[in-house]
Chains A and B, each alone.
Chain A
Amino acid sequence: MPVVRILILSLLTLMVVFTAGGCWGSRETDEVAYILSIGLDRGEKERFLVTISIANPQNIAGAGAGGGSSGGSAGEGGLGSSVIMSVESSAIIPSLNLFDTSVDRKLSLLHTKAYIISEELAREGLHDLLLPLIRYRELRGTALVLISKGSAREFIDKNKPLLELSPTKQFELMRQLTGTHGLYAVTLFHNFYNDLKSFAVDGTIPLVAIRQGGQGSAGQVAGDSGGHVLGYYEAGEVPITGGNPAQIIGNAVFRGDRMVGVIGGEEVRYLLMLQGKFREGKMTVADPLAAGTMVGLLVKQARNPKIRTEIDPEGNVAIDVDIYLEPEIIGIMSGINYETEENKALLEEAVSLEIQRGCQELIRRTQEEFRSDIVGFGRKVRYHFWTLPAWEEFRWLEHYPEAEVNVTVHSKIRRTGLQLKTMPHKGGG
């Protein structure tokens, strides 16, 4: 009876597949606790103070589904949408087991969207901190890495995005939001890991902080020219009152795996422009025709910057950068008709000069202050070397501070907003 034999054979095969091949690692969603963000501080007794924020799905689903007639009360009483816990441990991943002594579910890093590292730890170096995580199976390479200007625990504790039901949505939106203002440059876990390995570039990580102090007294205006105050802040200094005290602006600058300094929001914009990653952002420049007034502009990067590098036999590097921008006029305080051809050229000139100055200043700081190539000029310089060993031998990152960098900005105002001609108001008003 071949049919019977085939049946028995296929049954045996199925049994083998299910028993031997079956991954018995199935986990129901109610057996797992999802860590949404991890904070890392220096511990007092052990090496790290690990802070985790665990999602409370009941609250998230109950608030979102609208079917919370039966379950809403369970969520509203006690927990919010996430639970925050801390433990001191000598390593990060083993600390998850420590948490498990108090959490009744298996902790999972599968949905961890942000790793927040305190400035203190970052200045000591991130190498031996991040490498074990990279190896770990559950790590999301697309998670954000953030540097907290105070304690990471405090940031996780006080960070309460007001509009979001899900605590991770904030981190997901951060990635998009940088495209609309460019006040911080988002770094994903695998980006930073690649920068760490690279001989051509140094990494930056967005800076987060909890606003300290009370109403509006936070920080001092750090701008030196007074012309374009927008964005001369670092995280925690933006004078916002009310809302979520957490702020993300500026980036921490790294040399190798150590944090060596901080650049403010405006400087991050110049960094993004130099890298060609700047999407758009609102800026102000001093009115070239009417002193003391401002012209508001929405600046967009027209196309990728042109970077030409030259290297002479002694190893001196000269870099020419051409940045192409397309500002769009938002507002003209003085009422001067910048839509006319000659006035437009004047304004373009002013914008170009302003941004050129800013870029040069940023490069000066990276060369003298940080001594780290965060723009990634090394990626272009690399083309002058035939083999990888030769390139590694060259030690670009040590040569970078001596490199000669010239930035030229080309601006072209193509759109003037919804108005084609500025009519000065009648005055007397």
Chain B
Amino acid sequence: MFNLKQLLQIISYQENLDTEGFILKETKDDQQKAGKKDQGQAAADSKQRSGAGQQQAGADAQKDDGKVEQQAGKDGQNQVSGGEDEGAADQNKRSRSRRSFRKPVPSSGTSAHRAAEDGEVSASLEENRESIRQLYGLPGNKDVIIRDFTINTVPPVRCFAVFIDGLTDKVVQDLLFQALMAFAGQAAPASGEKLVDLVKDSLMPGNQVSVTASFREFLDGVNYGGTALFLEGCGKVLLVETKGWEHRTVDRPQSEQTINGPQEAFTETLRTNTSLIRKLLKSEQLTTELLTVGCRVRTYVAVMYLRDLANPDLVAEVKRRIEGVKVDYLADSGVLEQFIEDHPYSLNPTTLATERPDRVASKIMEGKVAILVDGSPFVLVVPSTMYEQLHTGEEIYRRWQFGTYVRYLRALSFLASFLLPGLYLSLVLFHHEMLPTELLLAIAGNRERVPFPSIMEVLMMEFALEFIREAGLRVPGVMGTTIGIVGALILGQAAVQANIVSPILVILVSVTGLASFAIPYYSLAFTTRIYRFIYIALGATLGFFGISIGLFIQVLLTSNLKSFGVPYLVPTGPRTSAGADVVTRLPIFFHESRPDYVNPQDATRAPKVSRTWLKRDRGERR
């Protein structure tokens, strides 16, 4: 065991204090400088964070006392840190475990900042200015602009506006300043409260103006592109909506292209996205609830649903999960998806992410809930089933015969995308009798010149295809055509001529690749890409027996999934009423009810007779 210990020691991490942190290698000069700076800094910092300094000392003492005393030390430390703010305690713990790890002191976590953030707006302009300076780290932070001016009332009122350069619309702001500085020729009341009302009601031309006394709301408004107006002698701040940052315009869908149907896609702007949906569903029942996620940086998350249709329990659950996400920053709807999904360890995605507003609208019309994340062009729709993930929405726009045909084609491609290489291997390795003689001899003849076992052959081609897929995605645009040429050469002629793979396998792998591209939902295509390798392993070791085992387990795993309480394989997983739109897409006038599994408030989509112009009224006979 001695050797094992030694080995573990060699491969385990040992800290080197000289090269720790961001400084890769310290020279002697650096060390001397650092020593001086440390001393100086310690003296300077000691005032600001005396509590933290004490703890540091305490922790150091415990360290010297050794392990036995550690428990006691912890208790003592807890006593010391009681009443201190969280950030400091956190820092202390870390410093204890990692010893003298030089961690930069967090600037935003300081108590002064916290105090300013939670504080109320003061009546004094100077005090407010000082608070803002603290909150935004002025004058270091150059994005935040404080504009001093006087309102042209009688008597003039001193005030200043706060906004962030680049987030505001200059035209709207010009209008604002013009109105206040030039055209406001009214008498100003002495009282602060009335002054605010006057400015808000008669002087300011902004379309969304709110009044608040809280710095938190002020920060949220200004950070989201608003302009804040502080008035002399008034304990309130006026927030004007002047959003106008650079953004992408509404474009065609990139990853969910269709021939028929609307050609708009979501963009990165939350308000644009909500309006795209509302544009399709012009209803007063369509509700957009705004939530925020993120402790350090707040990201707006919109939850959209039809108030008279969506099941209130579903809406409550969606909101509960989103509100329960504690994270410092929410980067994308894909991140939120991972936080709120039911089965993070399953390969199958249980939410539907789409960039098509028409698709989201149709889902909302089924009683589902859409989740929009600010900054993400993909909208999540919950609950989601596997059948739904194999739809594109386009089938509805086409005539039902075409839609049905495409659905069955897609079902076939779904199966082929993960089963085909495994089936080939089990046929070639175990079940020779199942192939027609001529085909078997053709396969065998081509394999004669290939020096690898067939599993190697398949894996090489599969990985070549995976490389091409990944490279095609990452290749810089100018070099885009190279991928086509190189890919075609590798996967085509050259590999066969070099006797590395047999030509039949080239066809097989390309068909598998095509089948996987035919799956409309990218996440689901990813699922099958990974399942494919499991089936290759099973087919190569156990033949059809292995593939049957694999299918059995996969069906069990998949049917066990739920998406916001709805079984993933509904309506076949647990058998429920199928409706007119699962795999076979029935004629549009049979789409009479909404999906059963969503339990919408109104299950009827259309009456029995949706084509009332028909002379023979079938409804009456029923």
Interface flag for B192 (CB, 8 Å): no
Interface flag for A65 (CB, 8 Å): yes
Closest-CB distance, A130 to chain B (whole angstroms): 19
* Given contacts A26-B543, A28-B428, A28-B429, A111 and B440 within 8 Å (CB-CB): yes
* Range of interface residues on B (Cβ < 8 Å): 20 to 34
Interface flag for B444 (CB, 8 Å): yes
**With A and B bound together, what is the CA distance between A219 and B345 in angstroms?**
79
Q: Which residues of B contact A22 (CB under 8 A)?
A: 541-542
Q: Which residues of A contact B429 (CB under 8 A)?
A: 26-28
Interface string of B40-56 (1 = CB under 8 A from A): 00000000000000000
Interface string of A193-215 (1 = CB under 8 A from B): 00000000000000000000000
Q: Which residues of A contact B36 (CB under 8 A)?
A: none
Interface flag for B400 (CB, 8 Å): no
**With A and B bound together, what is the CA distance between A110 and B543 in angstroms?**
17
Interface flag for B174 (CB, 8 Å): no
In this complex, what residue of A is CB-closest to B427? A29
Interface flag for A70 (CB, 8 Å): yes
Interface flag for A168 (CB, 8 Å): yes
**With A and B bound together, what is the CA distance between A25 and B541 in angstroms?**
9
Q: Which residues of A contact B541 (CB under 8 A)?
A: 18, 22, 26
Interface string of A302-316 (1 = CB under 8 A from B): 000000000000000
In this complex, what residue of A is CB-closest to B443? A29
Closest-CB distance, B253 to chain A (whole angstroms): 38
Interface string of A93-117 (1 = CB under 8 A from B): 0000000000000001011010000
A34 touches B542 (CB 8 A): no
Interface flag for B438 (CB, 8 Å): yes
Q: Which of B437, B447, B503, B545 contacts A30 (CB 8 A)?
A: B447
Contact residues of A between 13 and 49, Cβ < 8 Å to B: 17-18, 21-23, 25-30, 32, 34, 36
Q: Which residues of B contact A3 (CB under 8 A)?
A: 345
Interface flag for B430 (CB, 8 Å): yes
A27 touches B432 (CB 8 A): yes
Contact residues of A between 45 and 73, Cβ < 8 Å to B: 55, 57-62, 64-65, 67, 69-71
**With A and B bound together, what is the CA distance between A18 and B541 in angstroms?**
7
Q: Which residues of A contact B445 (CB under 8 A)?
A: 57-62, 64-65
Contact residues of B between 464 and 498, Cβ < 8 Å to A: 496-497
Q: Which residues of B contact A29 (CB under 8 A)?
A: 428, 432, 440, 443-444, 447, 454
B497 touches A57 (CB 8 A): no
Q: Which residues of B contact A34 (CB under 8 A)?
A: 432, 437, 440-441, 444
Interface flag for A169 (CB, 8 Å): yes
Interface string of A152-170 (1 = CB under 8 A from B): 0000000000000010110
Q: Which residues of A contact B549 (CB under 8 A)?
A: 17
Q: Which of B437, B444, B449, B542 contacts A70 (CB 8 A)?
A: B449
**With A and B bound together, what is the CA distance between A69 and B546 in angstroms?**
38
**With A and B bound together, what is the CA distance between A113 and B540 in angstroms?**
27
B448 touches A36 (CB 8 A): no
B442 touches A61 (CB 8 A): yes
Interface string of B74-110 (1 = CB under 8 A from A): 0000000000000000000000000000000000000
Q: Which residues of A contact B496 (CB under 8 A)?
A: 67
Q: Tell me what chain B mostly uses at the interface: helix, strand, loop, or mixed.
A: helix
A18 touches B449 (CB 8 A): no
In this complex, what residue of B is CB-closest to A62? B445
Q: Which residues of B contact A60 (CB under 8 A)?
A: 438, 441-442, 445
**With A and B bound together, what is the CA distance between A3 and B344 in angstroms?**
12
In this complex, what residue of B is CB-closest to A81? B441
Q: Which of A23, A65, A108 contacts B430 (CB 8 A)?
A: A23
* Given contacts A17-B549, A29-B447, A30-B447, A65 and B442 within 8 Å (CB-CB): yes
Interface flag for A140 (CB, 8 Å): yes
Q: Which residues of B contact A21 (CB under 8 A)?
A: 542, 545
Contact residues of A between 270 and 328, Cβ < 8 Å to B: none
Closest-CB distance, B608 to chain A (whole angstroms): 48
**With A and B bound together, what is the CA distance between A166 and B429 in angstroms?**
22
Interface string of B155-196 (1 = CB under 8 A from A): 000000000000000000000000000000000000000000
**With A and B bound together, what is the CA distance between A30 and B453 in angstroms?**
9
Contact residues of B between 496 and 546, Cβ < 8 Å to A: 496-497, 499, 503, 540-543, 545-546
Interface flag for B433 (CB, 8 Å): yes
* Given contacts A28-B454, A29-B444, A60-B442, A71 and B437 within 8 Å (CB-CB): no
A61 touches B433 (CB 8 A): no
Closest-CB distance, A328 to chain B (whole angstroms): 34
Q: Which of B433, B447, B499, B540 contacts A111 (CB 8 A)?
A: B433
B540 touches A26 (CB 8 A): yes
**With A and B bound together, what is the CA distance between A30 and B446 in angstroms?**
10
Closest-CB distance, B462 to chain A (whole angstroms): 18
**With A and B bound together, what is the CA distance between A55 and B497 in angstroms?**
24
Interface string of B263-298 (1 = CB under 8 A from A): 000000000000000000000000000000000000
In this complex, what residue of B is CB-closest to A60? B441
Q: Which residues of A contact B441 (CB under 8 A)?
A: 34, 55, 57, 60-61, 166
Q: Which of B437, B503, B543 contacts A36 (CB 8 A)?
A: B437
In this complex, what residue of B is CB-closest to A36? B437
Interface string of B418-438 (1 = CB under 8 A from A): 000000000011101100011
In this complex, what residue of B is CB-closest to A56? B445
**With A and B bound together, what is the CA distance between A108 and B433 in angstroms?**
10
Closest-CB distance, B136 to chain A (whole angstroms): 44
Closest-CB distance, A81 to chain B (whole angstroms): 9
Q: Which residues of B contact A62 (CB under 8 A)?
A: 445
A23 touches B542 (CB 8 A): yes
**With A and B bound together, what is the CA distance between A96 and B430 in angstroms?**
20
**With A and B bound together, what is the CA distance between A138 and B453 in angstroms?**
23
**With A and B bound together, what is the CA distance between A27 and B429 in angstroms?**
5
**With A and B bound together, what is the CA distance between A64 and B345 in angstroms?**
48
A61 touches B545 (CB 8 A): no
**With A and B bound together, what is the CA distance between A17 and B545 in angstroms?**
11
A57 touches B444 (CB 8 A): yes
In this complex, what residue of A is CB-closest to B453? A28
Closest-CB distance, B272 to chain A (whole angstroms): 41
Q: Which of B428, B430, B497, B542 contacts A18 (CB 8 A)?
A: B542
B437 touches A26 (CB 8 A): no
Q: Which of A27, A57, A113 contacts B448 (CB 8 A)?
A: A57
Q: Which residues of A contact B447 (CB under 8 A)?
A: 28-30
Contact residues of B between 534 and 591, Cβ < 8 Å to A: 540-543, 545-546, 549
Closest-CB distance, B502 to chain A (whole angstroms): 9
In this complex, what residue of B is CB-closest to A55? B441
A166 touches B438 (CB 8 A): yes
Q: Which residues of A contact B428 (CB under 8 A)?
A: 28-29
Q: Which residues of A contact B449 (CB under 8 A)?
A: 58, 70-71
**With A and B bound together, what is the CA distance between A176 and B430 in angstroms?**
29
Q: Which of B440, B497, B542 contacts A17 (CB 8 A)?
A: B542
A168 touches B448 (CB 8 A): no
Closest-CB distance, B494 to chain A (whole angstroms): 12
Query: What are 17 A-B pairs with beta-carbon distances under 8 A?
Result: A3-B345, A18-B541, A23-B543, A26-B430, A26-B540, A27-B429, A28-B428, A28-B447, A29-B443, A29-B447, A30-B447, A34-B440, A57-B442, A58-B448, A61-B443, A61-B448, A111-B440
Nearest 9 pairs of A and B residues by beta carbon: A61-B445, A57-B445, A29-B444, A57-B444, A26-B429, A110-B433, A57-B441, A60-B441, A111-B437
Other A-B contacts than A57-B442, A61-B444, 7 sampled, CB-CB below 8 A, are: A23-B430, A23-B542, A28-B447, A60-B445, A61-B441, A110-B433, A111-B432
